[in-house]
Structure 1
Amino acid sequence: MSYPSPAPVQSVARRPVACAGVLLTAALVLLGALQAPPAAADPGTPRAAAATAHPHSAPRVAAAVLDLDGDSREPVVRGDDTPYDTASIVKLDILAALLLRAQDAGRPLTARERALAEPMIEHSDNAAANALWRRIGGAPGLEAANRRLGLRATEGGPGHRWGLTRTTAWDQIRLLRAIFDDPEPGGGTPALHPGSRRYIRTLMSRVAPEQAWGVSAASGSATALKNGWLRRSTTGLWDVNSVGRITAGGHRYLVAVLSDGSATMDEGVAMVERAAKAAVASAARA
Protein backbone atom coordinates (compact mmCIF):
# COMPACT_ATOMS: atom_id res chain seq x y z
CA MET A 1 0.00 0.00 0.00
CA SER A 2 1.43 3.37 -0.93
CA TYR A 3 0.44 6.98 -0.54
CA PRO A 4 0.94 10.10 -2.61
CA SER A 5 3.84 12.18 -1.37
CA PRO A 6 2.71 15.03 0.92
CA ALA A 7 3.01 18.51 -0.47
CA PRO A 8 6.59 19.80 0.02
CA VAL A 9 7.18 22.02 3.00
CA GLN A 10 10.32 23.60 4.42
CA SER A 11 12.79 21.05 5.74
CA VAL A 12 13.35 20.56 9.48
CA ALA A 13 15.72 23.04 11.12
CA ARG A 14 16.79 23.62 14.69
CA ARG A 15 15.30 26.55 16.57
CA PRO A 16 16.94 28.21 19.56
CA VAL A 17 15.37 27.56 22.93
CA ALA A 18 14.92 31.28 23.39
CA CYS A 19 12.36 31.36 20.55
CA ALA A 20 9.54 31.36 23.06
CA GLY A 21 6.99 33.46 21.21
CA VAL A 22 6.05 31.03 18.43
CA LEU A 23 6.14 28.03 20.73
CA LEU A 24 4.13 29.74 23.43
CA THR A 25 1.46 30.65 20.91
CA ALA A 26 1.30 27.06 19.70
CA ALA A 27 1.26 25.84 23.28
CA LEU A 28 -1.69 28.04 24.14
CA VAL A 29 -3.57 26.62 21.16
CA LEU A 30 -2.87 23.15 22.50
CA LEU A 31 -3.92 24.26 25.95
CA GLY A 32 -7.24 25.46 24.62
CA ALA A 33 -7.81 22.19 22.82
CA LEU A 34 -6.90 19.96 25.74
CA GLN A 35 -7.77 21.77 28.93
CA ALA A 36 -10.53 23.66 30.65
CA PRO A 37 -10.22 27.33 31.65
CA PRO A 38 -7.40 27.82 34.17
CA ALA A 39 -9.64 27.73 37.25
CA ALA A 40 -11.19 24.37 36.37
CA ALA A 41 -9.93 20.81 36.46
CA ASP A 42 -9.35 19.02 33.16
CA PRO A 43 -12.82 17.94 31.94
CA GLY A 44 -13.12 14.21 31.65
CA THR A 45 -10.34 13.64 34.17
CA PRO A 46 -11.33 12.41 37.63
CA ARG A 47 -10.39 14.94 40.33
CA ALA A 48 -8.14 12.43 42.07
CA ALA A 49 -6.20 11.77 38.86
CA ALA A 50 -5.93 15.48 38.10
CA ALA A 51 -4.69 16.24 41.60
CA THR A 52 -1.93 13.63 41.36
CA ALA A 53 -0.93 14.26 37.74
CA HIS A 54 2.26 15.99 38.92
CA PRO A 55 2.96 14.73 42.46
CA HIS A 56 6.64 15.76 42.30
CA SER A 57 7.86 19.13 43.52
CA ALA A 58 10.80 19.10 41.07
CA PRO A 59 10.76 18.55 37.30
CA ARG A 60 11.12 14.98 36.10
CA VAL A 61 12.67 13.69 32.89
CA ALA A 62 13.14 10.24 31.41
CA ALA A 63 14.99 9.31 28.24
CA ALA A 64 15.29 6.11 26.25
CA VAL A 65 17.64 5.54 23.31
CA LEU A 66 17.97 2.58 20.95
CA ASP A 67 20.97 2.34 18.62
CA LEU A 68 19.54 0.89 15.39
CA ASP A 69 23.06 0.11 14.20
CA GLY A 70 24.16 -1.52 17.45
CA ASP A 71 23.97 -5.12 18.62
CA SER A 72 21.37 -4.70 21.37
CA ARG A 73 17.63 -4.58 20.79
CA GLU A 74 17.10 -3.06 24.25
CA PRO A 75 17.15 0.72 24.70
CA VAL A 76 19.37 2.54 27.15
CA VAL A 77 16.96 4.15 29.65
CA ARG A 78 17.87 7.07 31.91
CA GLY A 79 15.71 8.68 34.58
CA ASP A 80 12.33 7.88 36.08
CA ASP A 81 10.62 5.82 33.37
CA THR A 82 7.14 5.93 34.84
CA PRO A 83 4.13 7.24 32.86
CA TYR A 84 4.06 10.85 31.66
CA ASP A 85 1.42 12.84 29.79
CA THR A 86 2.04 12.57 26.06
CA ALA A 87 0.74 16.00 24.96
CA SER A 88 1.14 16.11 21.16
CA ILE A 89 3.57 13.22 20.71
CA VAL A 90 0.45 11.04 20.83
CA LYS A 91 -0.31 12.30 17.33
CA LEU A 92 2.20 9.77 15.99
CA ASP A 93 0.25 7.03 17.73
CA ILE A 94 -3.05 8.39 16.37
CA LEU A 95 -1.66 8.29 12.83
CA ALA A 96 -0.34 4.75 13.29
CA ALA A 97 -3.78 3.65 14.52
CA LEU A 98 -5.44 5.34 11.54
CA LEU A 99 -3.10 3.58 9.11
CA LEU A 100 -3.79 0.20 10.73
CA ARG A 101 -7.53 0.78 10.25
CA ALA A 102 -6.96 1.61 6.58
CA GLN A 103 -4.74 -1.47 6.14
CA ASP A 104 -7.42 -3.68 7.68
CA ALA A 105 -9.91 -2.32 5.17
CA GLY A 106 -7.47 -2.97 2.32
CA ARG A 107 -7.29 0.66 1.25
CA PRO A 108 -4.96 3.67 1.42
CA LEU A 109 -5.88 6.71 3.46
CA THR A 110 -8.63 8.79 1.91
CA ALA A 111 -7.90 12.29 0.65
CA ARG A 112 -9.71 13.66 3.71
CA GLU A 113 -7.62 11.51 6.08
CA ARG A 114 -4.39 12.65 4.44
CA ALA A 115 -5.58 16.27 4.63
CA LEU A 116 -5.90 15.81 8.40
CA ALA A 117 -2.85 13.60 9.01
CA GLU A 118 -0.32 15.86 7.33
CA PRO A 119 -0.97 19.08 9.31
CA MET A 120 -1.43 16.99 12.47
CA ILE A 121 2.19 15.82 12.26
CA GLU A 122 3.92 18.59 10.32
CA HIS A 123 2.34 21.50 12.20
CA SER A 124 0.90 19.74 15.28
CA ASP A 125 -2.61 20.82 14.27
CA ASN A 126 -5.03 20.11 17.12
CA ALA A 127 -8.27 20.34 15.15
CA ALA A 128 -6.93 17.63 12.83
CA ALA A 129 -5.97 15.51 15.85
CA ASN A 130 -9.47 15.94 17.31
CA ALA A 131 -11.03 14.65 14.09
CA LEU A 132 -8.68 11.68 13.75
CA TRP A 133 -8.97 10.80 17.45
CA ARG A 134 -12.70 10.38 16.86
CA ARG A 135 -12.08 8.43 13.65
CA ILE A 136 -9.85 5.85 15.36
CA GLY A 137 -12.38 5.39 18.17
CA GLY A 138 -10.69 7.45 20.90
CA ALA A 139 -8.76 5.75 23.68
CA PRO A 140 -10.15 2.23 23.04
CA GLY A 141 -9.15 2.46 19.38
CA LEU A 142 -5.69 3.75 20.27
CA GLU A 143 -5.12 0.99 22.81
CA ALA A 144 -6.30 -1.71 20.37
CA ALA A 145 -3.80 -0.43 17.81
CA ASN A 146 -1.05 -0.29 20.43
CA ARG A 147 -1.51 -3.95 21.29
CA ARG A 148 -0.68 -4.72 17.66
CA LEU A 149 2.24 -2.28 17.64
CA GLY A 150 3.78 -3.82 20.76
CA LEU A 151 3.20 -0.97 23.22
CA ARG A 152 2.63 -2.16 26.78
CA ALA A 153 2.38 0.89 29.05
CA THR A 154 0.35 3.50 27.14
CA GLU A 155 -3.16 4.40 28.26
CA GLY A 156 -5.38 6.60 26.10
CA GLY A 157 -6.56 9.92 27.45
CA PRO A 158 -10.08 10.24 28.91
CA GLY A 159 -12.88 11.24 26.57
CA HIS A 160 -11.58 13.61 23.90
CA ARG A 161 -8.46 14.50 25.93
CA TRP A 162 -5.96 12.76 23.67
CA GLY A 163 -3.11 14.92 25.06
CA LEU A 164 -3.62 13.34 28.48
CA THR A 165 -2.71 9.91 27.14
CA ARG A 166 -0.10 8.44 29.50
CA THR A 167 3.04 6.69 28.25
CA THR A 168 6.62 5.79 29.14
CA ALA A 169 9.86 6.49 27.30
CA TRP A 170 10.34 2.74 26.78
CA ASP A 171 6.90 2.47 25.17
CA GLN A 172 7.69 5.38 22.86
CA ILE A 173 10.76 3.46 21.68
CA ARG A 174 8.43 0.55 20.90
CA LEU A 175 6.28 2.87 18.79
CA LEU A 176 9.33 4.31 17.03
CA ARG A 177 10.57 0.79 16.30
CA ALA A 178 7.24 0.02 14.63
CA ILE A 179 7.86 3.04 12.38
CA PHE A 180 11.63 3.02 11.80
CA ASP A 181 13.21 -0.31 12.71
CA ASP A 182 13.90 -2.79 9.91
CA PRO A 183 12.06 -6.10 10.39
CA GLU A 184 14.29 -8.85 11.70
CA PRO A 185 14.62 -12.04 9.63
CA GLY A 186 12.08 -14.57 10.85
CA GLY A 187 10.52 -11.98 13.14
CA GLY A 188 7.12 -12.01 11.52
CA THR A 189 5.30 -9.38 9.50
CA PRO A 190 5.37 -5.88 11.02
CA ALA A 191 1.98 -4.43 11.97
CA LEU A 192 2.54 -1.36 9.79
CA HIS A 193 2.98 -2.05 6.10
CA PRO A 194 6.04 -0.58 4.34
CA GLY A 195 3.95 2.15 2.69
CA SER A 196 2.46 3.15 6.03
CA ARG A 197 5.89 3.30 7.64
CA ARG A 198 7.28 5.44 4.83
CA TYR A 199 4.33 7.82 5.08
CA ILE A 200 4.84 8.44 8.81
CA ARG A 201 8.60 8.87 8.34
CA THR A 202 8.03 11.42 5.59
CA LEU A 203 5.72 13.54 7.72
CA MET A 204 8.09 13.39 10.71
CA SER A 205 10.94 14.63 8.51
CA ARG A 206 8.86 17.67 7.49
CA VAL A 207 7.95 19.06 10.91
CA ALA A 208 7.65 22.86 10.87
CA PRO A 209 11.03 24.49 11.65
CA GLU A 210 9.78 26.23 14.80
CA GLN A 211 8.80 22.82 16.19
CA ALA A 212 12.07 21.06 15.36
CA TRP A 213 13.65 21.30 18.82
CA GLY A 214 14.06 18.40 21.25
CA VAL A 215 15.78 15.17 20.24
CA SER A 216 17.26 17.01 17.25
CA ALA A 217 19.71 18.61 19.71
CA ALA A 218 21.58 15.28 19.81
CA SER A 219 21.67 14.87 16.05
CA GLY A 220 24.30 15.57 13.46
CA SER A 221 21.83 15.18 10.60
CA ALA A 222 18.77 13.33 9.29
CA THR A 223 16.25 14.07 12.01
CA ALA A 224 12.63 12.92 11.95
CA LEU A 225 10.65 13.84 15.06
CA LYS A 226 7.44 14.84 16.80
CA ASN A 227 7.28 17.06 19.88
CA GLY A 228 4.61 17.75 22.48
CA TRP A 229 4.07 20.51 25.01
CA LEU A 230 1.24 21.24 27.43
CA ARG A 231 0.75 23.54 30.41
CA ARG A 232 -1.39 21.70 32.94
CA SER A 233 -4.24 23.75 34.40
CA THR A 234 -4.09 21.78 37.65
CA THR A 235 -0.51 22.82 38.43
CA GLY A 236 0.52 25.56 36.00
CA LEU A 237 3.55 23.39 35.15
CA TRP A 238 4.66 22.18 31.74
CA ASP A 239 4.80 18.76 30.11
CA VAL A 240 7.45 18.86 27.36
CA ASN A 241 8.28 15.79 25.26
CA SER A 242 10.21 14.87 22.12
CA VAL A 243 10.50 11.59 20.19
CA GLY A 244 12.11 10.66 16.91
CA ARG A 245 14.96 9.18 14.92
CA ILE A 246 18.30 10.97 14.68
CA THR A 247 21.71 10.30 13.19
CA ALA A 248 24.83 10.96 15.26
CA GLY A 249 28.38 9.64 14.91
CA GLY A 250 27.37 7.58 11.90
CA HIS A 251 24.70 5.66 13.85
CA ARG A 252 20.92 5.90 13.67
CA TYR A 253 19.21 6.27 17.03
CA LEU A 254 15.61 6.15 18.18
CA VAL A 255 15.22 8.65 21.01
CA ALA A 256 12.30 9.37 23.36
CA VAL A 257 12.50 12.04 26.06
CA LEU A 258 9.53 12.75 28.33
CA SER A 259 9.34 15.42 31.03
CA ASP A 260 6.95 17.18 33.35
CA GLY A 261 6.98 19.77 36.12
CA SER A 262 8.89 22.57 34.37
CA ALA A 263 7.98 26.11 35.41
CA THR A 264 8.15 27.38 31.82
CA MET A 265 8.10 25.79 28.41
CA ASP A 266 11.61 26.99 27.60
CA GLU A 267 12.91 25.36 30.77
CA GLY A 268 11.23 22.12 29.69
CA VAL A 269 12.71 22.33 26.18
CA ALA A 270 16.19 22.93 27.59
CA MET A 271 15.83 19.97 29.98
CA VAL A 272 14.62 17.68 27.18
CA GLU A 273 17.50 18.68 24.93
CA ARG A 274 20.08 18.12 27.68
CA ALA A 275 18.58 14.72 28.41
CA ALA A 276 18.59 13.77 24.72
CA LYS A 277 22.26 14.67 24.34
CA ALA A 278 23.24 12.80 27.52
CA ALA A 279 21.20 9.72 26.61
CA VAL A 280 22.61 9.47 23.09
CA ALA A 281 26.15 9.92 24.41
CA SER A 282 25.50 7.15 26.96
CA ALA A 283 24.09 4.84 24.29
CA ALA A 284 27.10 5.51 22.07
CA ARG A 285 29.39 4.35 24.88
CA ALA A 286 27.32 1.25 25.68
Structure 2
Amino acid sequence: MTADRGADERGSGSGPRTARLLADAATGEVLRGHDARHAFRSASLVKPLIALDHLRRRGEPTAADRALLEPMLRGSDDAAASELWDRGGREAIVRRAAAEIGLTGTEPPRDPDMWGYVPLTAEDQVRTYRHLLGAGAPGDYVLANLRRYEVIATDGFDQSFGLPAAGAEPVALKQGWSGFGRGPAEPEPEPGPPAEKIPDERIDLESPAMHTTGLIRRDGRLLVVVVCTLHPPGTSWAAAAERITGLTAELLG
Protein backbone atom coordinates (compact mmCIF):
# COMPACT_ATOMS: atom_id res chain seq x y z
CA MET A 1 0.00 0.00 0.00
CA THR A 2 1.33 3.42 -0.92
CA ALA A 3 -0.03 6.88 -0.29
CA ASP A 4 0.96 10.42 -1.15
CA ARG A 5 2.34 12.09 1.94
CA GLY A 6 1.38 15.51 0.63
CA ALA A 7 2.55 18.82 2.02
CA ASP A 8 2.44 19.69 5.71
CA GLU A 9 -0.30 22.13 6.64
CA ARG A 10 1.46 23.31 9.79
CA GLY A 11 4.40 21.98 11.75
CA SER A 12 4.10 19.66 14.74
CA GLY A 13 3.02 21.43 17.91
CA SER A 14 1.35 24.31 16.09
CA GLY A 15 -1.82 22.67 14.67
CA PRO A 16 -3.88 22.45 12.59
CA ARG A 17 -2.67 19.42 10.67
CA THR A 18 -4.50 16.61 8.92
CA ALA A 19 -3.92 13.17 7.41
CA ARG A 20 -6.59 11.64 5.18
CA LEU A 21 -6.78 8.24 3.56
CA LEU A 22 -9.45 6.39 1.60
CA ALA A 23 -8.51 2.85 0.59
CA ASP A 24 -10.04 -0.35 -0.74
CA ALA A 25 -10.30 -2.77 2.18
CA ALA A 26 -9.86 -5.84 -0.01
CA THR A 27 -6.82 -4.77 -2.05
CA GLY A 28 -5.29 -1.91 -0.08
CA GLU A 29 -5.49 0.33 -3.16
CA VAL A 30 -5.31 3.97 -2.08
CA LEU A 31 -8.09 5.96 -3.72
CA ARG A 32 -7.29 9.30 -2.09
CA GLY A 33 -4.63 10.27 0.42
CA HIS A 34 -2.74 13.09 2.09
CA ASP A 35 0.11 12.97 4.62
CA ALA A 36 -0.74 9.34 5.38
CA ARG A 37 2.61 8.59 7.04
CA HIS A 38 2.61 11.49 9.48
CA ALA A 39 2.52 10.27 13.10
CA PHE A 40 -0.27 11.51 15.39
CA ARG A 41 -0.91 10.60 18.99
CA SER A 42 -3.40 7.79 18.92
CA ALA A 43 -5.94 8.88 21.52
CA SER A 44 -8.55 6.07 21.42
CA LEU A 45 -7.53 4.69 18.01
CA VAL A 46 -5.23 2.31 19.86
CA LYS A 47 -8.17 0.58 21.57
CA PRO A 48 -8.86 -1.94 18.76
CA LEU A 49 -5.20 -3.01 19.01
CA ILE A 50 -5.55 -3.45 22.78
CA ALA A 51 -8.67 -5.57 22.23
CA LEU A 52 -7.15 -7.67 19.45
CA ASP A 53 -4.04 -8.37 21.50
CA HIS A 54 -6.14 -9.42 24.51
CA LEU A 55 -8.22 -11.79 22.39
CA ARG A 56 -5.15 -13.27 20.70
CA ARG A 57 -3.62 -14.08 24.08
CA ARG A 58 -6.76 -15.14 25.95
CA GLY A 59 -8.99 -16.72 23.31
CA GLU A 60 -12.79 -16.68 23.55
CA PRO A 61 -13.74 -13.71 25.77
CA THR A 62 -15.24 -14.51 29.14
CA ALA A 63 -18.05 -12.49 30.68
CA ALA A 64 -15.43 -10.56 32.65
CA ASP A 65 -13.49 -9.87 29.44
CA ARG A 66 -16.60 -8.64 27.66
CA ALA A 67 -17.36 -6.30 30.55
CA LEU A 68 -14.15 -4.45 29.64
CA LEU A 69 -13.86 -5.02 25.89
CA GLU A 70 -17.36 -3.99 24.89
CA PRO A 71 -17.49 -0.62 26.72
CA MET A 72 -13.98 0.14 25.44
CA LEU A 73 -14.85 -0.58 21.80
CA ARG A 74 -18.41 0.75 21.72
CA GLY A 75 -18.28 3.65 24.17
CA SER A 76 -14.53 4.33 24.07
CA ASP A 77 -14.33 3.71 27.83
CA ASP A 78 -10.93 4.90 29.09
CA ALA A 79 -10.98 3.04 32.41
CA ALA A 80 -11.53 -0.27 30.60
CA ALA A 81 -8.71 0.56 28.19
CA SER A 82 -6.33 1.33 31.07
CA GLU A 83 -7.16 -1.97 32.78
CA LEU A 84 -6.56 -3.99 29.60
CA TRP A 85 -3.43 -1.96 28.79
CA ASP A 86 -1.93 -2.87 32.16
CA ARG A 87 -2.94 -6.53 31.87
CA GLY A 88 -1.40 -6.83 28.42
CA GLY A 89 2.00 -5.44 29.36
CA ARG A 90 1.53 -1.89 28.09
CA GLU A 91 4.26 -1.22 25.48
CA ALA A 92 4.41 -4.96 24.74
CA ILE A 93 0.88 -4.73 23.29
CA VAL A 94 2.05 -2.25 20.67
CA ARG A 95 5.17 -4.25 19.83
CA ARG A 96 3.14 -7.44 19.36
CA ALA A 97 0.50 -5.69 17.26
CA ALA A 98 3.08 -3.97 15.06
CA ALA A 99 4.84 -7.28 14.42
CA GLU A 100 1.62 -9.20 13.74
CA ILE A 101 0.03 -6.63 11.44
CA GLY A 102 3.16 -5.17 9.83
CA LEU A 103 2.67 -1.65 11.17
CA THR A 104 5.52 0.66 10.20
CA GLY A 105 4.49 3.91 11.89
CA THR A 106 2.96 2.65 15.14
CA GLU A 107 5.29 2.54 18.15
CA PRO A 108 5.10 2.30 21.94
CA PRO A 109 4.61 5.59 23.80
CA ARG A 110 7.48 7.25 25.63
CA ASP A 111 5.32 7.22 28.77
CA PRO A 112 4.19 3.61 29.37
CA ASP A 113 1.20 4.83 31.40
CA MET A 114 -0.25 6.70 28.43
CA TRP A 115 -1.86 4.41 25.85
CA GLY A 116 -3.34 7.51 24.22
CA TYR A 117 0.17 8.72 23.33
CA VAL A 118 0.98 5.80 21.04
CA PRO A 119 2.30 7.30 17.77
CA LEU A 120 0.40 6.00 14.76
CA THR A 121 -0.28 6.92 11.14
CA ALA A 122 -3.29 6.92 8.84
CA GLU A 123 -1.51 4.35 6.68
CA ASP A 124 -1.23 2.00 9.67
CA GLN A 125 -4.89 2.49 10.49
CA VAL A 126 -5.75 1.14 7.05
CA ARG A 127 -3.47 -1.83 7.69
CA THR A 128 -5.20 -2.41 11.02
CA TYR A 129 -8.72 -2.49 9.57
CA ARG A 130 -7.62 -4.77 6.73
CA HIS A 131 -5.97 -7.08 9.27
CA LEU A 132 -9.10 -7.18 11.45
CA LEU A 133 -11.14 -8.28 8.44
CA GLY A 134 -8.93 -11.35 8.05
CA ALA A 135 -8.11 -12.06 11.69
CA GLY A 136 -10.73 -14.74 12.30
CA ALA A 137 -12.81 -14.76 15.48
CA PRO A 138 -10.78 -12.06 17.30
CA GLY A 139 -11.08 -9.67 14.38
CA ASP A 140 -14.77 -10.45 13.94
CA TYR A 141 -15.38 -9.71 17.62
CA VAL A 142 -13.59 -6.35 17.46
CA LEU A 143 -15.38 -5.28 14.27
CA ALA A 144 -18.79 -6.41 15.57
CA ASN A 145 -18.36 -4.13 18.57
CA LEU A 146 -17.07 -1.22 16.49
CA ARG A 147 -20.23 -1.63 14.41
CA ARG A 148 -22.28 -1.16 17.59
CA TYR A 149 -20.64 2.13 18.58
CA GLU A 150 -22.50 4.33 21.05
CA VAL A 151 -23.26 7.87 19.91
CA ILE A 152 -22.46 9.27 23.36
CA ALA A 153 -19.17 7.94 24.68
CA THR A 154 -18.63 6.89 28.28
CA ASP A 155 -17.03 10.27 29.05
CA GLY A 156 -20.09 12.10 27.69
CA PHE A 157 -18.60 13.37 24.43
CA ASP A 158 -20.66 12.95 21.24
CA GLN A 159 -18.96 10.44 18.91
CA SER A 160 -21.03 11.25 15.83
CA PHE A 161 -18.47 13.61 14.26
CA GLY A 162 -16.57 12.72 11.09
CA LEU A 163 -17.85 9.65 9.29
CA PRO A 164 -21.41 9.49 10.71
CA ALA A 165 -21.94 13.26 10.45
CA ALA A 166 -20.64 13.31 6.87
CA GLY A 167 -23.54 11.11 5.78
CA ALA A 168 -21.70 7.78 5.72
CA GLU A 169 -23.17 4.67 7.33
CA PRO A 170 -20.16 3.00 8.98
CA VAL A 171 -19.87 -0.77 8.92
CA ALA A 172 -17.42 -0.20 11.78
CA LEU A 173 -16.35 3.01 13.51
CA LYS A 174 -13.60 4.02 15.93
CA GLN A 175 -13.19 7.63 16.93
CA GLY A 176 -10.41 9.29 18.89
CA TRP A 177 -9.98 12.58 20.72
CA SER A 178 -7.55 14.15 23.14
CA GLY A 179 -6.93 17.60 24.57
CA PHE A 180 -10.51 18.88 24.89
CA GLY A 181 -10.63 18.81 28.67
CA ARG A 182 -12.90 16.83 30.95
CA GLY A 183 -15.81 15.06 29.29
CA PRO A 184 -19.40 16.01 30.23
CA ALA A 185 -19.86 12.71 32.10
CA GLU A 186 -16.44 12.62 33.76
CA PRO A 187 -16.02 13.41 37.48
CA GLU A 188 -13.95 16.32 38.71
CA PRO A 189 -10.25 15.38 38.83
CA GLU A 190 -8.54 14.85 42.14
CA PRO A 191 -6.94 18.08 43.44
CA GLY A 192 -3.22 18.43 42.91
CA PRO A 193 -0.71 19.37 40.23
CA PRO A 194 -1.24 17.83 36.78
CA ALA A 195 0.99 14.93 35.82
CA GLU A 196 4.09 15.96 33.91
CA LYS A 197 4.17 14.92 30.27
CA ILE A 198 7.17 12.95 29.10
CA PRO A 199 8.34 14.68 25.90
CA ASP A 200 8.04 12.79 22.62
CA GLU A 201 9.68 14.28 19.54
CA ARG A 202 7.70 11.94 17.28
CA ILE A 203 4.26 13.41 17.92
CA ASP A 204 2.42 16.57 18.97
CA LEU A 205 1.24 16.13 22.56
CA GLU A 206 -0.21 19.63 22.96
CA SER A 207 -2.65 20.43 20.14
CA PRO A 208 -6.20 19.08 20.54
CA ALA A 209 -6.53 15.91 18.45
CA MET A 210 -9.67 14.47 16.85
CA HIS A 211 -9.71 11.40 14.60
CA THR A 212 -12.42 9.49 12.71
CA THR A 213 -11.85 6.02 11.23
CA GLY A 214 -13.97 3.17 9.99
CA LEU A 215 -15.30 0.95 7.24
CA ILE A 216 -18.03 1.92 4.77
CA ARG A 217 -19.63 0.28 1.73
CA ARG A 218 -19.77 2.17 -1.55
CA ASP A 219 -20.56 0.92 -5.05
CA GLY A 220 -20.16 -2.69 -3.97
CA ARG A 221 -16.76 -2.09 -2.36
CA LEU A 222 -15.74 -2.10 1.29
CA LEU A 223 -13.60 0.98 1.97
CA VAL A 224 -11.40 2.07 4.86
CA VAL A 225 -11.70 5.74 5.82
CA VAL A 226 -9.17 7.49 8.07
CA VAL A 227 -9.04 11.19 8.93
CA CYS A 228 -6.66 12.36 11.67
CA THR A 229 -6.58 16.01 12.74
CA LEU A 230 -4.81 18.42 15.08
CA HIS A 231 -6.28 21.80 15.99
CA PRO A 232 -4.97 25.08 17.47
CA PRO A 233 -4.86 25.21 21.27
CA GLY A 234 -8.19 26.27 22.70
CA THR A 235 -10.25 24.89 19.80
CA SER A 236 -13.69 23.88 21.05
CA TRP A 237 -15.13 20.39 20.62
CA ALA A 238 -17.85 21.75 18.32
CA ALA A 239 -15.36 23.57 16.08
CA ALA A 240 -13.07 20.53 15.80
CA ALA A 241 -16.04 18.26 15.07
CA GLU A 242 -17.27 20.60 12.34
CA ARG A 243 -13.84 20.75 10.75
CA ILE A 244 -13.18 17.00 10.75
CA THR A 245 -16.69 16.34 9.41
CA GLY A 246 -16.02 18.71 6.51
CA LEU A 247 -12.69 17.06 5.77
CA THR A 248 -14.33 13.63 5.84
CA ALA A 249 -17.06 14.74 3.45
CA GLU A 250 -14.39 16.09 1.07
CA LEU A 251 -12.48 12.82 1.22
CA LEU A 252 -15.59 10.82 0.43
CA GLY A 253 -16.39 13.19 -2.43
The aligned runs of 1:228-243 (5 Å cut-off) are: 228-231=176-179, 237-243=207-213
Distance 1:81 1:269, change over 3 A: farther
Task: After superposing the two structures, state which structure 1 stretch, 144-153 or 262-271, moved more.
Answer: 262-271
In the aligned structure 1, how far is the partner of 2:237 from the partner of 2:163?
15
Matched, 1:256 2:226: yes
- The answer as to whether partners of 2:22 and 2:223 remain within 8 angstroms in 1 is yes
Give the structure, 1 or 2, with the largest relative contact order (CA under 8 Å, sep 6 or more). 1
Matched, 1:68 2:40: no
Distance 1:245 1:72, change over 3 A: closer
> Which structure: greater helix fraction?
1
CA-CA distance at 1:146 after TM superposition: 2.0
Q: Which amino acid aligns with 2:171?
A: T
CA RMSD of aligned residues (A): 2.4
Distance 1:222 1:161, change over 3 A: closer
Structure 1 match to 2:247 = 275
Structure 2 match to 1:266 = 238
Distance 1:91 1:228, change over 3 A: same
Which structure 1 residue ranges, 5 or more long, are not aligned? 1-53, 181-189, 282-286
In the aligned structure 1, how far is the partner of 2:101 from the partner of 2:37?
20
Q: Which amino acid aligns with 1:64?
A: L
CA-CA distance at 1:222 after TM superposition: 4.3
CA-CA distance at 1:173 after TM superposition: 0.5
Structure 2 match to 1:212 = 160
Which structure 2 residue ranges, 5 or more long, are not aligned? 1-10, 153-158, 181-193, 198-204
Matched, 1:87 2:54: no
SS at match of 2:164: helix
- The answer as to whether partners of 1:215 and 1:243 remain within 8 angstroms in 2 is yes
CA-CA distance at 1:250 after TM superposition: 4.3
- The answer as to whether partners of 2:98 and 2:104 remain within 8 angstroms in 1 is yes
Structure 2 match to 1:133 = 85
TM-score (norm. length: structure 1): 0.67
Q: Which amino acid aligns with 2:32?
A: V
- The answer as to whether partners of 2:72 and 2:81 remain within 8 angstroms in 1 is yes
Q: Which amino acid aligns with 1:212?
A: S
Cα displacement string for residues 113-154 of structure 1 (whole angstroms, at most 9, x for unaligned residues): 111000001111111001100121101222212210121110
Give identity over the alignment, percent: 27
In the aligned structure 2, how far is the partner of 1:223 from the partner of 1:145?
23
- The answer as to whether partners of 1:176 and 1:254 remain within 8 angstroms in 2 is yes
Q: Which amino acid aligns with 1:146?
A: A
CA-CA distance at 1:78 after TM superposition: 1.6
Q: Which amino acid aligns with 2:126?
A: I
Matched, 1:203 2:145: yes
CA-CA distance at 1:72 after TM superposition: 5.8
Aligned length: 212
The partner residue of 1:114 within 58, 66, 69 is 66
SS at match of 1:130: helix
SS at match of 1:215: coil
SS at match of 2:86: helix
CA-CA distance at 1:219 after TM superposition: 4.7
- The answer as to whether partners of 1:229 and 1:238 remain within 8 angstroms in 2 is yes
